[in-house]
Structure 1
């Protein structure tokens, strides 16, 4: 369950890990499997203590504004899928960011939530100015009688797996790498809106999405092979998508258009989850509709081929 910190009931037998866990990538999943296994052996509650909004949205960073890999609800769904018992959400505010690492562990984890065992990543830091790390956790664990376990770095093809690395891959349009690191394709969840209906005159009707999830990362503009999860339907629908500004028609506002293969139906107002499987090409400007359709036909062949094994 998702439990706000103010509503959490103290329980001394909790196995806890702390972090934003944005995207719940394969490194997160590996840590969680260890946490859940340890919790089950001790009849403890496996718990993620996380933050909303993301700390970088509140305190900023020299890296600039952050985009997110997952909404809070998407994070929770992935956590439940791996078997986690509970997600405790701390409202992250400027005042909360001033808590020292010792105050965070003692006041929040030990006194408010309850901690039998704390699992942290090999590079995890916490508290004001990220001053706390593994040594302090061990020291406080001895003082307050909880065990501390550290999880080492996880790599994929000899590269680090982290939310930061995944964000860069999304911005670069490298959806194959994103899928490997996340364990599944990257998803944008949007509601179908009314478009200009130009696609149907070209033989390629599209679902139009207004990109309302402003906090989420947007893949590099271009054409993608996608799978579409339509609300209320069990099967994923194959298709291709254009993410960008549609320069052929003089548009300037970014949007997402998805053409579904072999699909009939009116989906206006329907919520869909678009899974980005592979980038096919850059967004291009064409001399006119005929040239555009010729390229769309090539894109369809490429997308269908890509999705044969998806």
Structure 2
């Protein structure tokens, strides 16, 4: 599955735009200004929707990648709430001075990548090995002076990766219902997995990985810490995840939804149930 995600992303990224301290148009392409609406879009919310680090390009949100499939670079993926403006040459979106990682300025050789198909995502390409083999445990800081067109950055600016914008909900749940049984996943301690079951049995612990390598799609992988995975049903948005074997021959639940969910959104929508035995 990881190879498939990496291949699809490689195809998507083939049409990308690279810039370091300012945006650069593609050779032979139409004018960026001409392709942009003339009307200024002011007062548009510009904040980070989600962000995560990855030692390769498979875009799987996980604590540690079992294998680095890209020996050329490490990456940070930052998804914003609005498309990024590439019209102005003096745009500071591509200025690496507006970002810090783990309380340090981004290293020499860092590149800022952008893609025509995913207009609201900024990809920060770091030198190989800079993440020290870890996808989690990093802190990305964004300058309060970062602007996108006429809109200044708002929201959280110090992001513990993987980061998800706080979920707004009108339905207040009790603290007990917000507690995830996924004790082995550090990120889940900050999420609100609402796991419902049809009986009083205690659900097994579990880990969750979220794949973002396919545009406008979220791939979900759930591993239950029990030898009896067949006794459980795992779903998201009423889409039931299928039981598959991973590379270690372990049975895991895998599925996808045609929505661009953050990690916390996946955790809030994930549903794990123990099947009712037929008598």
**Shared fold (TM-score, shorter chain, > 0.5):** no
State which structure, 1 or 2, has the greater radius of gyration over its C-alpha atoms: 1
More strand by share: 2
More helix by share: 1
- The structure, 1 or 2, with the larger RCO (C-alpha pairs under 8 Å, 6+ apart) is 2
TM-score computed with the length of structure 2 as normaliser: 0.28
